[in-house]
Amino acid sequence: MSLAISALEYISNVKNGTTTAEEFIAKTLDRISKHESKVHAFISINENALEQARAIDKKIKSKEKVGAFYGMPISIKDNISVKDGKTTCASKMLQEYVSPYDATVVTKLKSQDAILIGKANLDEFAMGIATEFSAFGPSKNPWNTDYVPGGSSGGSAASVSALECVASLGSDTGGSVRNPASFCSVVGLKPTYGLVSRYGLVSYANSIEQIGPIARRVEDVALLLNHISGRDANDNTTIDGKNQDYLGEIGSGIQDKKIGVIKEMSRGAGLDKNVESAFWRAVDSFEKLGAKIEEMSLDMVEFTVATYYVLTTAEAGSNLSRYDNIRYGYQMDLEGYEFKSYISKARKNFGPEVTRRMILGGFVPSAGFAGKYLLKALKVKSKLKRQVLEAFKKFDFLISPTVPILPFRFGEKVDDPLAMYMADINTVTANLTGVPAISVPFEIHNGLPIGIQIHANTLQEKQLLQAAYALQGTTSLPGAPL
């Protein structure tokens, strides 16, 4: 029995008795204990996984009703709340925090008999593109452990790529699902803002982020989306996705669909030559699939990274201010501190990137500067949105490389925040406009993965997954050489 199977294969194998949940989970746990020292995809492992698998096998044997996942192991990014276990956000601030409740997506997965195999590593509070900012040490890229796995959902993507689980849930604020998916050669989807409940996702920049599925196959991502999407009374920003079946008709193809190539993301100085040439080969593949390709321009893209960092730091400054070490956090002696000096002292426990963004977040919405930064960024955001929605009147999809660069070595970008931020240029547009976008593995260059990004219009996930599935069909990629 191989662990390198898709979610759909796993489910049919368990259904037809080829394998059992217990057998698969046991093998997965073996794999984790064997490779975690190299990959470090997890912050914590579910110690009851085997027991849960046995319970599900028992249900199957006694012909009781079984949930859609049949005990399939799924990892959960450690900024998504799972009751009774730790939810650390890869931060010292929350290293002992135990959530008293389940995130809505977690409730949904549990009710469908998924096994939450462990909590995946991330950049502290999901701020970063390499998991280098995890307070508990970085995750490694299973394709080459000298290289970063991307971020911030680096642990999620690495765990899927390293066969330590079948699928994962990450969160995507500016590319945090798609970037590591691209770097680890797996599929990652950022759904339409509001399609998936954020209740239980620890907020970083709440007005633009979404929980998104990561898997080795496009159809697995569709299956996960079927089970995590939908309106939620606990999240007022959720919208009605009309309970679509994203998996059905996934093989419909993209004959005669109109695809726009976003010029600002697909050419130019910041784009790695190898990524560029791979991308244009993907354009050829789309053409061969019967799509009509046209190069187009979104001139607001130039301002998106600046806009993204102004908006997200302003929201982060507010969202993270609750971590004052009073209600949770690690112990610190309060004695002898006046309240505000205590707060400053307590906040020294944030890591360097969170600190950097908190400082910016205190500045950009402050009196006297809000007009120059925050309000201007909001204007760019709405102008960009108009531009993108206008483009979708003409095109079914807009495409680009997911990340303009190849995976890089540890430490290469960590001291140059601006260069690091520029790596987000292709992914932030989907967050700023709320539209869905997916990263599909396309090539391996010198052992390093390259992903292709496809955007679709708001709530057009079904079409989007069909296009991604079609592109996936043109590739034949090996698994990670771990």
Partner 1 sequence: MIGLEIHCQLTNLQSKLFCSCKANYREFEPNTNLCPVCMGLPGSLPRLNQKAVEKASMIAMALNCKTPQRLGFFRKNYFYPDLPKNFQITQLNMYGPTSIGDQGKVSIEGKDIRIRRIQLEEDPGRLIYEGASERTQITLVDYNRAGTPLVEIVTEPDFDNPRQVRIFLNILSDLLENLGVSDPTLEGAMRADANVSIEGGLRVEVKNIGSFHDLEKAIHFELTRQQSLAERGIPVAQETRHWDDKRKITISSRSKEEDEDYRYILEGDIPWVVLDSKSIEKWRGSMPESISSKKERYITKYNIPVQVADVLSSDKYYSDLFEQAHTESNAKEIANMITTDLMGLVDTREKREQSKLSPKHLSDLIEIINNGKVTRSSAKNALQEIVKTGKSVSEIVSQTGLAKISDEGELGKIITEIMSQEPTAVQQARENPQTINYLVGKVMQKTKGTADPTLTLKILKEKIST
Q: Considering 91, 152, 171, 185, which one is annotated as catalytic?
A: 152
Q: Which is nearer to partner 1, 242 or 327 (CB)?
A: 327
Q: Which is nearer to partner 1, 255 or 321 (CB)?
A: 321
Alpha helix stretches (DSSP H) within 62-177: 104-111, 154-161
Q: What is the DSSP secondary structure assignment for residue 338, as one 8-state letter?
A: -
Closest distance of CB 382 from partner 1, Å: 12
Ramachandran region, residue 477 (left: φ > 0; alpha: ψ -120 to 50; beta: rest) = beta
Q: Could you say which of 176, 185, 197, 400 is catalytic?
A: 176
End-to-end Cα separation, the chain, in angstroms: 18
The minimum distance between CB 325 and partner 1, in angstroms, equals: 11
DSSP structure class, residue 479: P
Residue 176 designated active-site: yes
Largest CA distance in the chain: 71
* CB 322 to partner 1: min, Å: 5
- In this structure, the number of other CB atoms found within 10 A of the CB of residue 387 comes to 16
DSSP line for 374-421: HHHHHHHHHHHHHHHHHHHHH-SEEEEESSSS---BTTSSTT-HHHHH
Q: Pick the catalytic residue: 75, 77, 99, 119?
A: 77
Residue with Cβ nearer partner 1 (101 or 303): 101
CB of 390 to partner 1, least distance (A): 23
User: Is 59 or 83 the residue whose CB approaches partner 1 more closely?
Assistant: 83
Residue 208 three-state SS: coil
Burial of 410 (0-12, 13-18, 19+ CB in 10 A): middle
77 catalytic per annotation: yes
Q: Please report how many Cα atoms fall inside a 13 Å half-sphere around the Cα of residue 164, on the Cβ side.
A: 32
Which residue pairs, CB below 8 angstroms and at least 24 apart, start in 128-132?
Answer: 128/152, 128/353, 128/420, 129/175, 129/176, 129/179, 129/413, 129/420, 129/423, 129/424, 130/154, 130/408, 130/410, 130/413, 130/414, 130/420, 131/90, 131/155, 131/180, 132/410, 132/411, 132/414
Q: Which is nearer to partner 1, 62 or 236 (CB)?
A: 236
Q: Which residue's CB is nearer to partner 1, number 49 or number 94?
A: 94
Nearest residue (CB) to partner 1, 279 versus 342: 342
Q: Which residues, including other chains, have CB under 8 Å from residue 85's CB and lie 6 or more apart?
A: 44, 46, 98, 99, 119
Nearer CB in complex with partner 1: 93/221? 93
Contacts (Cβ under 8 Å, ≥6 apart) of 275:
401, 403, 404, 405, 406, 445, 450
Q: Least distance (Å) from partner 1 to the CB of residue 81?
A: 4
Does 152 participate in catalysis according to the annotation?
yes
**Shortest CB 321 distance to partner 1, Å:** 4
SS3 355: helix
Least spacing, CB of residue 417 vs partner 1, in Å: 22
Strands 448-456 and 437-445: antiparallel
Task: List residues bridging with 261 in a β-sheet.
Answer: 295, 399
Nearest approach in angstroms of CB 362 to partner 1 is: 7
Given the rule CB under 8 A, which residues bind partner 1?
A: 79-81, 87, 89, 94, 97, 99-101, 103, 198-203, 206-207, 233-237, 314-315, 317-318, 321-322, 324, 326-327, 339-340, 343, 362, 365-367, 370, 374
Contact between 151 and 122 (Cβ < 8 Å): yes
Name the residues annotated as catalytic: 77, 152, 176
